[in-house]
Amino acid sequence: MNPRTAPALCLVPAALLWSTTLMAAPADEHRSTLEDQTAVAVTIYNEDLALVKDRRRLELPAGRLDLAFRDVSARIQPETALLRGLSAGAGLRVIEQNFDFDLLTPAKLLEKYVGRPVGVIKVHPTTGEETEEAAEVLAATEGTVLRIGNRIETGEPGRIVFRELPPNLRDRPTLVMKLDNTLAGPQEVELSYLTGGLSWKADYVGELAADDSHLDLTGWVTLNNTSGTAYREARLQLVAGDVNRVREQVRPVMAMKEMRVMAAPAPDMAEESLFEYHLYSLAHPTTIADNQSKQVALLTAQGVPTSKELLFLGQDYYYRAQQGEIGVKLKASVFLEFDNREEARLGLPLPKGVVRIYKRDSQDQAQFVGEDRIDHTPKNEQVRLKLGEAFDVTADKVQTDFVKLSGMGPWQYQFETAYRFKLRNAKPEPVKVKVREPIPGDWQMLESSHPHQKVAANLAEWELEIPAEGETELSYRVRVRF
C-alpha cells in the first residue's frame, strides 16, 4: 500500500489528524453516544458535586457484551455509577466496568507508541515530494526521541504517522461496562452517577429605595460546568444545604448581571423540602454546555421593607487596662436588615450567596453601595447585611479614668473604668446610631449620661440621636470583675 494513501494517524506540530475508520469501536464493543440520549436530569449540590441521570435508547443483543457509554462526565466518580434497564422485561447485569479517561492528544499518542514503529513523512523543500521513513519512538516525556535507521533524532523531523489507535485511548471520556443482557433488541436504560465539575451559587441584586425604607430583590443562580461534557435540555434541580460527604483524596481537575424586578413574590424556581435541605427545580429544561457559566432566575420580590442601622462596636479588652485615646474619627458600620417573611413580601428559603445592593442617585443612575455574604437562610428569619462604613458619622473615644481595685486570683480582679464618646454627624439631617460595648466578666454600670440596655450577658447598648451637623456626647463608668 502506498504510504500516502494508507489509513494513518499523522502528528504535526500544531494538529492531530486521523482517519475516521481508526476511531471505530472494537468489533465486540457496542457504543452509545449523545445521539442515543432521550432525557437527562442533573441535580447539583453545593461544593462541586452533582448527580447525573442519563437516559438512552439502545439496540443491544442478548448475552455478554461490552457497552461503551460515551460522553459521560470527565469528572465522574465511577464507583457511584449505576446502570439499570427501564424497559419491560429488561435484564441488565453489570459484571465489571472501566472508566477510560486517557484522552486522545498528540502527547498521549506519542506516549502510547514508545517502543513501537511509526512512519516519518518529510517534504522535499524544492519539489514538494513526500517521502516516508520507518522509525521507532524511544521516548516522549520531555520531547520526542526517534530511532531512524542507524541514527537517533530528537524533536519532530517531519509528520509522524501512526497506523492504528492504541487500545483504551479515547477521544472523549467513556465508561465501558461488561454486561449480561437477557433482552435482545431496543430498550431504554438509565445511567446515574455522581460527578465533580458542576457547581452552582446564588447571587442577589437589591435596589434600595430613595428613603432606604424598602428594596426590590432579584435572586440569580450561576451554574458552572467544567465536567468535560454537555447536558442538553436537562431537567435541572439544585440542592441548598450542607450535605455531609466522605472526603477522599483530591481528584485532579480535567481540563450577574443586574435585572429590574417585576411582580413579587414570584419564585422562578419551584422550591420544596428534601430531607433536611431545600430542593429548587427549574420549570423548563435547559442546556448546560461544557466550559460554560449560565445564569438562571431564582426569585423576584418587590417592596421588601428594610431598616438601616449605624453601629459603633467596641472591644472587650478596653476594660482590662489603661487605653487612653482609643481612636479619632471612628466610623460607624452601616447595616441593612430585612425579614424573610411572607408579610414582608418574601418568605422563601434563601440559598447562601452574595447580596449586592444598589441605589439610584439624583440622576436616576443605579450606584453600587455595598455587598455582603449570607448563609443559607430559612423562611421567617432575618437577613442582616454589612454594607460598609459611614462617611459622615464618626466618633472620638477616650478612656477618662481607670482604677484597679483588686487582683489576687480568679474572680478577684476588679477594675473601674470610664469612657467618653463624642459622636459627630456631618449630614444635613439628624441620624440615629447605636453604640454597642462588649464588657467582659461580671460587670455593673455605675454611671451613664444616657440610658443603656443590657442586650446580652456581655453587651451594653445605647441608642442615640445626633443632630444635623452636630454632635452628641456619651459618657459612662463601669465596674468589671473576672
Same domain, 205 and 287: yes
Indicate whether 11 belongs to any domain: no
Final residue before a domain boundary, out of 350, 380, 410: 380
| N residues, the chain | 482
Q: What is the pLDDT of residue 265?
A: 42
pLDDT number for residue 271:
80
- By CB atoms closer than 10 A (0-12, 13-18, 19+), residue 417 is buried
Instruction: With respect to residue 27, please indicate whether it lies within any of the assigned structural domains.
Output: no
Domain check: are 299 and 375 in the same one? Answer: yes
* pLDDT of amino acid 370: 96
β-bridge mates for residue 133, sequence order? 120
- For residues 422 and 297, membership in a common domain is answered with no
Same domain for 345 and 210? yes
Quick one: pLDDT at residue 270? 81
Per the domain annotation, does 36 fall within a domain?
Answer: no
Q: What residues contact residue 132 under an 8 Å CB cut-off, 6+ apart?
A: 3, 4, 119, 120, 121, 122, 161
Shared-domain flag, residues 301 and 312: no
Q: Are 433 and 328 within one domain?
A: yes
Q: With 0.85 as the threshold, say if the pTM is over it.
A: no
Q: What is the pLDDT of residue 323?
A: 80
Picking from 356, 380, 404, the residue at the C-terminal end of a domain is 380
453, part of any domain:
yes
Give yes or no: residues 228 and 372 share one domain: yes
Which amino acid appears at position 13 of this protein? Answer: P
Task: State whether 320 and 279 are in the same domain.
Answer: no
Kindly state the cell numbers that stand for 277: 435541605
Determine, yes or no, domain membership for 177. Answer: no
What's the pLDDT score for residue 26? 54
In a domain, 125, yes or no: no
Give the domain extent around 367.
197-305+341-380
Structure confidence at residue 17 (pLDDT): 37
- pLDDT value at residue 102: 67
Choose one of 353, 380, 407: the last residue of a domain. 380
Examine the domain organization and report whether 247 and 395 are in the same domain: no
> How many domains does the structure of the chain reveal?
2
* Beta carbons of 282 and 250 less than 8 angstroms apart: no
DSSP state of 25: P
> Which helix H or strand E contains 474, and what residues bound it?
strand 471-481
What's the rounded Cα separation, in Å, for the pair 179 and 192?
16
Cβ(204)–Cβ(218) below 8 Å: yes
Residue 14 confidence (pLDDT): 33
Q: Has residue 67 been placed in a domain? A: no
AA identity, residue 423? L
Residue 451 belongs to a domain with what CATH number? Answer: 2.60.40
Backbone angles phi, psi at 23, to 5 degrees: -90, 0
pLDDT value for 29: 84
For 111, list phi and psi in degrees, rounded to 5.
-60, -40
Q: Do 324 and 430 reside in the same domain of the chain?
A: yes
**SS3 state of residue 343:** helix
User: Do residue 443 and residue 469 come from a single domain?
Assistant: yes
**Would residue 254 count as lying in a domain?**
yes
The answer to whether residues 259 and 366 touch, using CB atoms and an 8 Å cutoff, is no
For the chain, 482 residues long, give each residue's pLDDT as a single digit of tens.
444 444 444 444 333 333 333 444 455 789 999 999 999 999 999 888 999 999 999 999 999 999 999 999 999 999 999 999 898 777 888 999 888 766 677 887 888 888 899 989 888 888 888 888 898 999 988 888 999 988 998 877 888 888 887 766 777 788 999 999 988 889 999 999 999 999 999 999 999 999 999 999 999 999 999 999 999 999 999 998 878 877 655 444 443 333 333 333 444 578 887 778 888 898 889 999 999 999 999 999 999 999 999 999 988 888 888 886 776 689 999 999 999 999 999 998 999 999 999 999 999 999 999 999 999 999 999 999 999 999 999 999 999 999 988 877 666 788 999 999 999 999 999 999 999 999 998 999 999 999 999 999 999 999 999 999 999 999 999 999 88
State the DSSP code for 388: E
Do 247 and 295 reside in the same domain of the chain? yes
